[in-house]
Structure 1
Amino acid sequence: MAEEVQVLGSWASPFSKRVEMALKFKGVEYEYIEQDLKNKSPLLLNYNPVHKKVPVLLHNGKPIAESLIILEYIDDTWQQGPPILPKDPYQRAHARFWAKFVDDKCMPQVWKACWSEGEEREKAMEEASKALEFLENEIKGKKFFGGDNVGLVDFSANFLAYWCGILAELSGLQFLTEEKYPNLTKWADEFCGCSFVKENLPDKGKMVHVFNGLTKAYTSTV
């Protein structure tokens, strides 16, 4: 019996793209089902009734939600291809720590800095810079966060490698500069150059259009 693998996602979501990148990385065939996040489908609400968010991985009809959990599930379920997490328990815990750090400490502050103003923006920029400094030190001397190969932390940091640059251009803020974060910028270029990453990056022109729309919506409410 053939396996059925489906991804409920959104084309612009770095969280959805993490899952698609990981499936391509492991050589797993899947069907992608785009979701309208402004008008959530019965399919999404049925399979993720708790958070009502993408991504959701459907494996033979069984749903798994939350992108970092999905990445671990993919690694545990499909043995072909390179591992996403190391086998050593300490190294696995280390990877989980930094993946969660990206989600909890980096992405929210970068996003907040782009859409806030005044003191709120300054504070968010300061906190984002501190978080990025930790990552700059963590990637030092390594090609990827996973070492010589892409791993869990690299997938989780995909936002920093691609989306962050687009936001920086539109907001006029400087996040990942080569001068300040030489290790991170080198990593970002390496990561985005991987075939399974490159083919899953959303079109920059479309992203600019979406973010411009968000900017207009924000400025009309402040």
Structure 2
Amino acid sequence: MDGVKLHGVWASPFSTRVVWALKLKGIPFDNIEEDLSNKSALLLQYNPVHKKIPVLVHGRRPVCESMVIVEYLEETWPQYPLLPTDPHERAVARFWVKFIDEKGLNVWMVYRSVGEEQEKAMRESLEMLSILEEHGPNKGKKFFGGDSINIVDIAFGGVAYWMGAIEEVSGGKMFDAVKFPRLNAWMADFECLPVIAENLPDQGKLRKHLARLREKRLSLSAHK
């Protein structure tokens, strides 16, 4: 089989989720940076339905959608397990991944919107954070997976790290360290882990990138 290739974008939380999983499992891969304003023929070939990143290519066979890719990696490479062995615990982990993927979209709506629409997205983002604060990492444990990162940590990491940049760029406040002490501690533990820290986009560069895209998006909306 050919090696592993990842079609992604440096600033994308969805691409970064896959990078974390690959790095945690020690899987060598070629990173192919896509230009979403001029998508490559290979990306369109590999993901003809959504035409989005990330796409993992393993043995010339593509796998799409970030958390689907992470599960594929889990099933293909057993080293550094990202899912529990107990069937019920696996189901619970998948529940939280689905919850984060669905509710985390509100964080991006804060970035993409203004006015009442943004306020609604902020309220729903705060509701998500409140639920995760209550049901997140157990006391005495660093991560959702216990003492080591699992698939839920990877899913939420793709929301948490981008939240600060989104708040600054959009002006929509969501995260309060005092209100969410458990999540705040989780973020600190997660982001200082070398394999995570070494594979995070630079915050300054990320904020400039998001600000530029948001300005362009709002400008196009105003002229419709």
Shift of 1:174: 2.3
Match of 2:108 in 1: 111
> For 2:51 and 2:152, how far apart are their aligned partners in 1?
24
Shift of 1:3: 5.1
> For 1:113 and 1:174, how far apart are their aligned partners in 2?
9
Contact 2:118/2:172 (<8 A) preserved? no
Alignment of 1:1-222 (within 5 A): 4-80=3-79, 82-105=80-103, 107-139=104-136, 140-141=138-139, 142-220=141-219, 221-222=221-222
TM-score, length-normalised on structure 2? Answer: 0.92
> For 2:218 and 2:7, how far apart are their aligned partners in 1?
31
| One-letter amino acid of the structure 1 residue matched with residue 172 of structure 2 | L
> What is the number of residues matched between the two proteins?
219
Q: Where does structure 1 differ by over 3 angstroms across 4 or more consecutive aligned residues?
A: none
C-alpha RMSD of the superposition: 1.5
> For 1:135 and 1:110, how far apart are their aligned partners in 2?
14
> For 2:2 and 2:90, how far apart are their aligned partners in 1?
27
> For 2:111 and 2:98, how far apart are their aligned partners in 1?
21
> For 2:65 and 2:218, how far apart are their aligned partners in 1?
31
Match of 1:63, SS state, is strand
| One-letter amino acid of the structure 2 residue matched with residue 97 of structure 1 | F
Shift of 1:189: 1.0
Task: State which drifts further: 117-126 or 10-19.
Answer: 117-126
Provide Cα deviations, 1:55-85, integer angstroms capped at 9, x if missing partner.
11111111111111110111111122x2011
> For 1:33 and 1:122, how far apart are their aligned partners in 2?
36
> For 1:122 and 1:168, how far apart are their aligned partners in 2?
12
Match of 2:178, SS state, is coil
> For 1:66 and 1:117, how far apart are their aligned partners in 2?
28
> For 2:64 and 2:195, how far apart are their aligned partners in 1?
22
Contact 1:56/1:66 (<8 A) preserved? yes
Task: State which drifts further: 34-43 or 133-142.
Answer: 133-142
Identity of aligned residues (%): 47
> For 1:116 and 1:138, how far apart are their aligned partners in 2?
29
